[in-house]
Structure 1
Amino acid sequence: MTHGPRGSCELCERDGGLLVWRSDKLRVIRAVGDAQSTDHPGFYRVIWNAHVAEWTDLAPADRSHLMQAVAKVETVLREALQPTKVNLASLGNVVPHLHWHVIARFDWDARWPAPVWAPALRHVPDAASRLAVPLDVLDAQVASALQAG
């Protein structure tokens, strides 16, 4: 699939995962349906709704708004799951539409301590069952934190 202004963009065409919360400017999804999301069930993306590729394409106020949302998702993950670490990433090499990955990491996860995109180092069956709260409860907590402003 091509991306950007001349082609189609999967984050313009689709939510990009399980929609957890949406506002006029951004949305938060939980990653589903791939090895990273199965192995790392606390894997969220904060996605800017309008198609922009780079961080500095946003006005300073919008950059602040986006990072506040990233921080709220991270805070919920830290409080609810007590992860070993939370990874934040904004790459855009594959999908050049501005979005942040917010990923709860655990010393027991399939790729720890490597990045989530590295080959798995171990098999962790049903990783979601190891979380302190069920994913639907976690999603509701993320949505509540974002709705609270």
Structure 2
Amino acid sequence: MHSANCPLCQDQDAHNVLWRNDKLRVIDAGEPDFPGFTRVIWNEHAAEMTDLAPQDRSHIMDIVWLVESVMRHEIMPAKVNIAQLGNYVPHVHWHVIPRWPLDSRYPDAIWAAPHERSPEQQLAWDVFREQQWNLQTDYHAALRSALDSLG
């Protein structure tokens, strides 16, 4: 079931879709301060993992683990955060978030308030973030290739 009022139904064919199959899609979340932030989104409405059949739960988690693996290899974050929230949308979806000690919220959750930074710390982050954004084309290509190899 799809809904015109559901933001995750509306963006199923958006430009940020990196890969899709009949069950789910993988998108670039487009978070400016978190280059590489990727979401894995179930296409149909299902609010909880237990709403999915066991084989579908396995399928989505296989994709989440693959995203994490490619992310670690291609952009080498210090840590990867994985979260399943979805309080506002009836779609199971997973956030796969690369983290670095230079990011403004590290080591807290990305949803926490940013930490105060000195001008030098901000400059270091700006340079690092730009370097990470420059890796995104290769990360996306490697991710698509790995996902395509699943068949």
- TM class by shorter chain equals 0.7 to 0.9
Give the percent of matched residue pairs that are identical in Structure 1 and Structure 2.
Answer: 46
Tell me the SS of whatever aligns to 2:69: helix
Deviation per CA, 1:26-64: give whole Å up to 9, x if none. Answer: 1000111xxxx1111110000001111111000000000
8 Å CA contact 1:39–1:127 kept in 2: the answer is no
8 Å CA contact 2:35–2:133 kept in 1: the answer is no
Match of 2:110 in 1: 116
Based on CA coordinates, which of the two structures has the bigger radius of gyration? 2
8 Å CA contact 1:73–1:142 kept in 2: the answer is yes
C-alpha distance 144-18 of structure 1, shift in aligned 2 (>3 A): same
Task: Write the letter of the residue equivalent to 2:47.
Answer: A
Q: CA deviation at 1:132?
A: 8.7
Q: CA deviation at 1:96?
A: 3.1
Aligned length: 142
Deviation per CA, 1:54-78: give whole Å up to 9, x if none. Answer: 1100000000000000000000011
Question: What's the C-alpha RMSD, in Å, of the aligned pairs?
Answer: 2.2
**Of 3, 10, 15, which residue of structure 1 is paired with 2:7?**
10
C-alpha distance 145-133 of structure 1, shift in aligned 2 (>3 A): farther
TM-score (norm 1): 0.86
Runs of 5+ unmatched residues, structure 2: none
C-alpha distance 82-10 of structure 1, shift in aligned 2 (>3 A): same
Match of 1:41 in 2: 35
Most deviating of 39-48 and 91-100: 91-100
Match of 1:27 in 2: 25
Query: In structure 2, what is the Cα distance between the partners aligned to 1:25 and 1:132?
Result: 29
C-alpha distance 127-45 of structure 1, shift in aligned 2 (>3 A): farther
Most deviating of 15-24 and 87-96: 15-24
Query: In structure 2, what is the Cα distance between the partners aligned to 1:132 and 1:12?
Result: 27
Equivalences for residues 60-71 of structure 1 within 5 A = 60-71=54-65
Query: In structure 1, what is the Cα distance between the partners aligned to 2:16 and 2:2?
Result: 25
Tell me the SS of whatever aligns to 1:101: strand
TM-score (norm 2): 0.85
8 Å CA contact 1:17–1:30 kept in 2: the answer is no
Tell me the SS of whatever aligns to 1:86: strand
8 Å CA contact 1:86–1:104 kept in 2: the answer is yes
C-alpha distance 6-14 of structure 1, shift in aligned 2 (>3 A): closer
**Of 82, 94, 98, which residue of structure 1 is paired with 2:92?**
98
